[in-house]
Amino acid sequence: MNNESYQVKKFSKAEILLAILALGSICGLIEVVFSGLLSKMGFPYRSALLVGLGFGVIGFGYAIFRKPLLAVWIGLVAIFCKQLGVLILNVSVMCKMNSCVAVFLEYAALAIIAITLMSKMTEKISARLITGGAAALIGAGAFYFIGMRVAPCNYLLSFNHAGGLVDFMVAEGLVWAGFSIVLFPLGWLAGEKASGKIGNIIFSKPRLFYAETALTTIFCVAICAIAVANGF
């Protein structure tokens, strides 16, 4: 089955749900495990890389399913993974709330732009570049104002002064956009390359698709849970 033949078909709600859970749990793994590793390494652009990688995963999903709101649902699954400490360690939901707000705002900004540009993204790489960069910038700007009021960390509070938004956008927003301009189109490209194979599995071997997405979700959530239990 080639790319064109599967794209004219409609995905069922169950298939889209399973894809959301699998992709969202991968984003959760990035936000919990990879973020923890980058933090321990002292990587200076940790937040920007996390945003870019998350956008890359969503770009992969967009190339296959072409559903703009996919980003919001994927973000909610990622947030669930980040909040596993509430269930495992009995910590307050506010402990990770600030970074959860950042994830939601970034992914929501991507969804909003995708609603307008999805058709153009299917045809032009320039639209994908614009989408990745603009969503990161808009998400960063929204996070500056909202994140300041929801359990902000000391680093974010250091920008709470006259002209703080400009300083934050220069120090963080532009860097987030730089990573996203690269990684969102790369994720889309990977999705295009894999779309024929995945479409063939979905429509010819649906049980295999159900098994693979379910196992991916379980594996990623389990690794996140283990990581959270060990202080990530």
pLDDT tens digits along 113-143: 999 999 999 999 999 999 999 999 999 999 9
Residue 90 and residue 78: Cα distance in Å, rounded? 19
Listed in sequence order, the residues at least 6 apart from 52 whose beta carbon sits closer than 8 Å to its beta carbon are 132, 136, 176, 179, 180, 182, 183, 184
Indicate if the alpha-carbon torsion angle 144, 165, 34, 103 is positive or negative.
positive
Instruction: Give the residue, 75 or 162, on which the prediction is more confident.
Output: 75
Per-residue confidence (pLDDT) for residue 2, from 0 to 100: 43
Does 13 have pLDDT greater than 80?
Answer: yes
Instruction: Give the residue, 89 or 2, on which the prediction is more confident.
Output: 89
Does 162 have pLDDT greater than 90?
Answer: no
Does 9 have pLDDT greater than 80?
Answer: no
pLDDT band at 3 (very low <50, low <70, confident <90, very high): very low
